[in-house]
Structure 1
Amino acid sequence: MSVDAPEKNEYPRASRGLVFASIVTYVGSIFLLMSFCSPYWIESYDESFSSFKKMGLWEYCFKDFYYPNYQFPKKFNGCHNIFSYEYYMIREYLLPGWLLFVQICITLAFILTFGTLGLLALVLVRWPLKLVLQYEWLMTKISHIALAVASSLIFLGILIFWFNAYRRDWMMYPKFNIISWSFGLGVVAMALLGAASALLYREALRAYGNRHQAKNLVMQMEMQEPSFHPSRSLSRSLHSGGYI
């Protein structure tokens, strides 16, 4: 007696927990993107009339700023990328080693987060179907690990930035500056991605427990295909497993 193989439209959908974890990851990635791109990690008080206006990970904004250690009286105005030609002469001052390390941490977290979004999208839409059904536990586990690492890197980056933001050897007159909302978005992104990682860990355990059923389902789907020609060893495994 044979067991009817499932139709392709009868495959198990993504669980609610996985969908919720993906939504949390998506929201966290939006906060991370805004923090990554916006130039408001530090800004000066409006009433201070400081020549320094604001900065982000990749951009500085000045108004009539003179760098005292630069031998020529060059005035810096406007907002420019930290790696632009405008800041070439003072880049060493604008980009100390600790800030470069923060950039590396946040950039790696950015890559891991958006790479995980792509992987989760494949799991959610079940494409490619057989691969996702058979290795959902592994794909979910990879997503969990990637987001855990990303959240840890963001935490390390914002912690280092917090402790160095008011150094006098970096930004002049630090008492006129304040950590701004881009930094706060990074903190929110860290929390959301950490929560998503915990949710995905639970989903990975669930998928790992169901891996044998998923593998059997894939085998039954392959048996339904017209081009399927079971080998002698596969036929013995199907008989022993009770599929035929």
Structure 2
Amino acid sequence: MRALVVFNMASHDDGASKTAKAAVLSFFATCLIIIIAFSTNSWLETDGTLENPKFIQLGLWNFCLRDFKDVKHLYDRVFNGCRHVLDEEYHIIDWLLRPPFFIAVQLFFTLCFMLMLVGIAGTLMYVLCFTYEHQVKLLRALAWDLTIAAFCGTIAVITFGALGDSRDWMPDFEHNFLSWSFGLAVVGTFGLYLSATLFFIEAKVQAKKHRDTTSQATFSMEHKV
């Protein structure tokens, strides 16, 4: 019991380490980047050289089209404007807008986003209210959570990078390019790897401090006895 008290006192005197501060700051910066990438419509865009492009731009959840028709000519309907990918009006061309590779991108980047939200909750617990004796476990849990999130993000950006501007998807593929929202998704994924690494390092440092402080307290108690 005494060792625990000594450990807590030492922890509050030391304050947060530079590694911990860097981990928290890098993670929250990464969160902002991923939120923007997740919610904006510039993963793929037309380059602007065509006078009347049928495809304008898209994000994970929105497509912007102009005078767009079903390429199989099953329907005479013309699609214009920006709409959510699951909008009822787009239902008849869902097979075109969401091929299997894009559904996989949506799935894995959504998993990345959700795990990031779990990481936000864990980081707030670490910063604001979590008891020090449990911080090592929390830091390790955060590190693993962000590693898995980064892995999901990696699958998403690699898949979209390889197939997003291919000839088999959006019209006028030679005039389409991977845009800034996709770039932010890539940066955010690397940011998750960085944050996870920093949390792993901090967990290792705190575990060593715990062992050293416990050993010192035990040694002191033995000598007093």
Match of 1:219 in 2: none
TM norm structure 1: 0.80
Match of 2:126 in 1: 123
- Mean CA deviation greater in 59-68 or 167-176: 167-176
Query: Where in structure 2 are the equivalents of 1:211-230 lying within 5 Å?
Result: 211-212=210-211
CA contact (8 A) 2:69 2:76 kept: yes
Match of 2:157 in 1: 158
Corresponding letter in the other structure for 2:201? R
CA–CA distance in structure 2, aligned partners of residues 152 and 240 of structure 1: 46
CA–CA distance in structure 2, aligned partners of residues 183 and 46 of structure 1: 18
Give the drift of 1:162.
1.1
1:114-138, CA deviations, whole angstroms, 9 ceiling, x for partnerless residues? 211221111112x14xxx2111111
CA–CA distance in structure 1, aligned partners of residues 84 and 213 of structure 2: 50
Greater C-alpha Rg:
1
Residues 1:202 and 2:201 aligned together: yes
Match of 1:87 in 2: 90
Match of 1:148 in 2: 147
SS across alignment from 2:49: helix
Rate the CA distance shift 1:77–1:243 in 2: closer, same or farther, 3 A: farther
Rate the CA distance shift 1:61–1:215 in 2: closer, same or farther, 3 A: farther
Residues 1:133 and 2:132 aligned together: yes
Match of 2:32 in 1: 30
- 5+ unaligned residues in a row in structure 1: which ranges? 217-236
Rate the CA distance shift 1:241–1:121 in 2: closer, same or farther, 3 A: farther
SS across alignment from 1:47: coil
SS across alignment from 1:64: strand
Rate the CA distance shift 1:214–1:146 in 2: closer, same or farther, 3 A: farther
Q: Percent identity?
A: 22
CA contact (8 A) 1:134 1:215 kept: no
TM norm structure 2: 0.87
CA–CA distance in structure 1, aligned partners of residues 222 and 209 of structure 2: 17
Corresponding letter in the other structure for 1:74? R
Match of 1:53 in 2: 56
SS across alignment from 2:66: strand
CA–CA distance in structure 2, aligned partners of residues 54 and 154 of structure 1: 21
SS across alignment from 2:80: strand
Question: Cα RMSD (Å) of the superposition?
Answer: 2.6
